[in-house]
Amino acid sequence: MKNIAISSAVAALISSTSAIKVSAGPDVFGPNGQDYQNDSATYDLSRIGIDVYNKGSGDKCSTGDWVTLSYQAYLKDGRQVENTGDQNDGRDLVISLGASETFKCFELGLGQLKQGDKAKLHCPYDLAYGNAYTWPGVGGEPIPLHSDIDYDVQIKECNKVPERTAYFTQPVTTTMQPGVCMYMHVFAEDDVEHKLVLSAVDNGPTPLNVLIEEQVVDDKSQQFFYDDSDKTIYNAAHPDLRLSELPGGEVGLVPLTSNPTKWYYDPKTSGLTTGELSLTEVIFAQRAHDDTTVKYGLQSSFGGLNTAKWRIEYCRQYFGS
C-alpha cells in the first residue's frame, strides 16, 4: 500500500509540472532583454545587453547600408556624456553600418534593431570608449577610463543604400604657367588611344621642324616652357630657339633674333593661338598620328578640329615626384 501511495504522488507531481510553459528561449548566445532575444553566436554581441522599449518595423538594419539615429550616452552612475540633440547643431548621426565609422558596440548592436526602434544598449567599456582619454561631447570632466556605457538610441532610418558620388576625370587643360615645364597634348590623341604631344626635331639646321610624336616621359625634345616676358614658347632641348610660324604654313623652332611668333593659350577653345582677333591663327596637326607635321591656319577654319586643340600636362618634377 505504501508503494502505491508514493507512485500516486510522483504521478501527480509529473502531471502538474507538465503544465508549465517556457515563455522565451534560453540565453544561449548571451543576455536577452526587453522585447529582444539574441540569436547570434558572435562573442562580442553576446556581451551587449539590448532592451527594446518601443518597437519599430521592417527588417533589421543591414551591414553596408546607411543608418540614421539619435542617441544619448550615460555612465553607470547616470551622468550623461553624449547627446546628439545638444551636439553638432542637433543633427542626427548618419553612419554606414559595418564600415568602422563608429565604435564597435554600435556596429554590432544597431544591426539587431529596426527602423523606428527605441532601445537601450548596455555596452562594455572595450566596445565603447575603452581606455582612451575621451572628453564628453556635452562637456564636463573626461569620461573615466574603462567605463561601461548605456546608450539610449532611436533608429530614425536604416537600410538606405548609400548615394554614391560620381567622380569625373579631373580637367587637364589650363593656362600656360610662365617658366614651368609642360607637355602639349593634342586632343586627337583620344581618337587613337596614344598619347601624342608636340615634339621638336632633335638636331639639324634652323629652323627646326616640330612634329606630333608619341609621348616619351622625360624626353626634353617634348618639353616646352612659356616665357611670359615676350609671349614666346621654347623647347627644353633647344632653349635658345622659339616656337614660330614658318613660311609655307608650317611651324618650327627659330632663333630669338628671328622675331618669333607670340603665343596665347585660350582655355575656352583649347587653342594655341596668335591672339590677333579676327586674324587669329592656331597651330594644328595634319592628322592624329606619330611623326605628323604641325601647321598653322586661321582659327575660323581649323579651330574646331581636335587636331587643333591642345591640353597642357605639367612635367612631373613640378609635383614633388
Give the pLDDT confidence score for residue 276 in this predicted structure: 65
Give the pLDDT confidence score for residue 155 in this predicted structure: 95
pLDDT, mean over the chain: 84
Give the three-class secondary structure for 233. strand
Which stretch, 37-41, 163-167, 191-195, 219-223, has highest mean pLDDT? 219-223
Is pLDDT of 204 > 90?
Answer: no
Q: Which residue has the higher pLDDT, 254 or 174?
A: 254
Give the pLDDT confidence score for residue 18 in this predicted structure: 44
- When pLDDT is averaged across residues 36-58 and rounded to a whole number, the result is 88
- The answer to whether 156 and 66 are in contact (CB under 8 A) is no
Q: Which residues pair with 68 in a beta bridge?
A: 94, 157
What CATH number corresponds to the domain at position 293?
2.80.10.50
Q: Which domain holds residue 46?
A: 26-160
Residue 165 lies in a domain: no
Give the pLDDT confidence score for residue 38 in this predicted structure: 80
Give dist(CA 132, CA 134) in Å, integer.
Answer: 6
pLDDT band at 20; cut points 50, 70, 90: very low
Span of 24-28, 113-117, 234-238 with lowest mean pLDDT: 24-28
What CATH number corresponds to the domain at position 102?
3.10.50.40
Could you tell me if 136 and 203 lie in one domain?
no
Could you tell me if 138 and 241 lie in one domain?
no
Residue 7 lies in a domain: no
Could you tell me if 231 and 306 lie in one domain?
yes
* pLDDT tens profile 258-277: 999 999 988 888 899 998 65
Burial of 283 (0-12, 13-18, 19+ CB in 10 A): buried
Question: Among residues 203, 206, 195, which one has the least CA distance to residue 221?
Answer: 203
Residue 171 lies in a domain: no
pLDDT band at 10; cut points 50, 70, 90: very low
Could you tell me if 134 and 198 lie in one domain?
no
Residue 129 lies in a domain: yes
Residue 138 lies in a domain: yes
Could you tell me if 35 and 141 lie in one domain?
yes
pLDDT band at 286; cut points 50, 70, 90: confident
Could you tell me if 291 and 190 lie in one domain?
yes
Could you tell me if 154 and 226 lie in one domain?
no
- The answer to whether 105 and 121 are in contact (CB under 8 A) is yes
Give the pLDDT confidence score for residue 161 in this predicted structure: 81
pTM score > 0.75 for this model? no
Residue 54 lies in a domain: yes
Q: What is the CA radius of gyration of the chain?
A: 38
Residue 224 lies in a domain: yes
Give the pLDDT confidence score for residue 39 in this predicted structure: 79
Residue 208 lies in a domain: yes
Percent of the chain with pLDDT over 90: 50
- When pLDDT is averaged across residues 157-185 and rounded to a whole number, the result is 77
Give the pLDDT confidence score for residue 16 in this predicted structure: 47
Give the pLDDT confidence score for residue 241 in this predicted structure: 95
Number of domains in the chain: 2
Could you tell me if 130 and 239 lie in one domain?
no
Q: Which residue has the higher pLDDT, 256 or 317?
A: 256
Q: Which residue has the higher pLDDT, 237 or 88?
A: 237
Span of 55-69, 108-122, 233-247, 268-282 with lowest mean pLDDT: 268-282
Question: Among residues 254, 212, 217, 249, which one has the least CA distance to residue 232?
Answer: 254
Residue ending a domain, choose from 97, 129, 160: 160
